[in-house]
Structure 1
Amino acid sequence: MKMKAIMIIMMTLVILAIGVVSLSALKSSSAKGKKQKISNFFLKTEIYKSNDKLTNTIMKLDYKDSTFSYQEKYILKPGDDVGYETESKGKFKMNHDTLIFYSEMPENAQLDFGTHELTDEEIAKNKFSYIYPIDEKVDDNQVKIYFDNIAEIQEYKAFTIIDHQLKPINIIERKELDESKLIKTKTSNFFLFHYLIIEMPKNNQLLIIGSRDESFLFDFNKIPYRSFHFYTRVYWGFMDLTGIKFQKNDKTLKRIQSADDKRYQSSGALNLDFIKQ
């Protein structure tokens, strides 16, 4: 009887041990599965297409480095003489189900005419050929930007981005020159027409927004000057989406409209739903 009791106890211990090992293996497998699932999520790329019927517009999200690219191309119809293409690229951040874009400054190739013809020495210091330094003294907490002749500086407002929100920046002076001023460079010449003097944002991120769906980003972590001339034409084929937000679910991206941000309200492609491909 005693031997039988011992055997029952031993069998019970063995069954419990097997159960513990099995449960441990199951938890380990489950943990590995979850880890693999999370890993796969951050390695994946998602492509979305706008519902706009007038354009072929694609948004691509690359989770491995949190980058995005945006391409919008007008679909020519019979009788159309010209179309258009525009693009954007940069970084994105996720805040719960909200997707927030932070564009890069456009590349020099976006402006194939009318650029400042920089020397090798100049391009080594400032990689943006659409920006040229003006030798003027500016207060440490200010920046002075001369704009090309097509800019409507009377309409411009200045902002920075703080906590994913547009925050107004003070424009200290807005001035049209009485006479255009010729600037002679080592390789070419150009004229100064008008300028803004703006409070320098502490985070070095300045946005100039106009009334014609214009948005120009100036990243002073990359711009080594406080007074310079700027060609707005570089944004003819490039959209600054800095601060633009989308609500994201499993199947769609939907732009979040804001009373404080009136940019691109006329853009059908950007404001219609994007469907996951």
Structure 2
Amino acid sequence: MQNIESHATNLVDVVYGNERLQFDDPSENWFEATKIYRTSMAWDAPGVAALLRSETLQKIATHASKRFDDLPLISLPDPLNSNVTLDEVIENRRSIERFQGSSVSLEQLSTVLQKSYGLVERPEGPRRPIPSGGALYPLDLFVIVNKVDSLEKGIYHFDPYRKGLTKLGEYSEQGFMEIMLQEESVQGFSFSVVVSASFWRSRFKYGHRSYRFVFLEAGHVMQNMILLATALNINSRPYGGFIDDELMKMIGGYNGVDDAPIYTLVAGI
């Protein structure tokens, strides 16, 4: 019993980095701020009532995505169908540590993007293939193209409503590898999908709780992408660790507070 207590004490030291616990821990403060209490629901989720009363807000909320209408649109081909069963995909999925440097087809990339977070027309209105808090869809997918047939190397934004890509600029492959902190593992990749969050799209309705919803949604999208990649015989690996400010600077357009990259898929053959 004494050994267990000693081990637990050591773990506390490792987690908090001090012999004494701190009473103003940022991680604990964040988790506390995102809790919902029955007695304070009116201000824990301030936008719920406002959204129900406003048809304008409801209309805006159904068209969640960054738009780059001033840039040429590259239309994506229809997604491919796979004969692989879900059981097979789940069994075969692996986080790959090396890529061979081969290219993937534009049809394969289109399938990963459209079937993971593309538009699905339903009687109740446009939706996506994943659950989203309040159907607000606060995420955007940016694609770092390295070796995709029929696409120039560069940085693209996926437009789910127009089913296409808009090219935003260029990037350095070596710089991207350094940003991902796994240069050997990333080398030779075909494409990467940077999952980015516009936190305000969810926060106006759900307050601080929205951050939980946003991160959960990113997980749903990533799971879709890695399973789709597996079904298409594309190797992949999700990354949660990267140099935030350098990735934001590479893609551009972020302020790091209202919107930021939160999750990254690296894929290839």
Question: Do they fold alike, i.e. is TM over 0.5?
Answer: no
| Structure with greater strand share of residues | 1
Q: Which has the larger radius of gyration?
A: 1
Quickly name the TM-score band, shorter chain normalised: under 0.3
| Structure with greater helix share of residues | 2
The structure whose RCO (Cα within 8 Å, separation 6+) is larger is 2
Q: What TM-score do you get using the length of structure 1 for normalisation? A: 0.26
